[in-house]
Amino acid sequence: MAAHAHRGGSEASALSALSLGVPLAISAAPAAAVLSAGATLTVASVQVAAAGTVWVLTQASTGASVVLTLSAAGAEAVSVTAGTAVVVTALSAGWILSAAGKALCFVPNEIGQSLIHNERMTR
């Protein structure tokens, strides 16, 4: 029996690899209004809470803002301060936010959210 590769395999592999190296952020506001391909956002504030880190990002051209929450584990890998410029890259499953050429986090859209699965593995 012959094996056939799935056409979207490279994208799935990229997202799988991305999830291992880039923290996942959850949006507290409608992200699509602010997160668009090529948009440049500015970090307005960074607040550390018991559950993780909360970023407020604003878009200078529209004044719109989005609030992102990173878990404590994800926030440890990323150091962002107020005033940092953040660039948005759109993917079919969400957005990658980066600063100075370094990926900061992945914000899933509805498609991306449906692909995320977290289950404890036991032996």
In the prediction, which pLDDT does 77 show? 58
The tally of domains found in the chain comes to 1
**pLDDT-above-70 percentage for the chain:** 70
For 8-53, what is each residue's pLDDT tens digit?
444 444 444 444 467 777 766 566 667 877 788 999 998 888 778 8
Domain that holds residue 89: 23-115
| 74, part of any domain | yes
Q: Which two tokens stand for residue 55?
A: 């970023």
- Residue 69 and residue 46: Cα distance in Å, rounded? 10
The model's pTM is 0.68
Give 2's pLDDT tier (boundaries 50, 70, 90).
very low
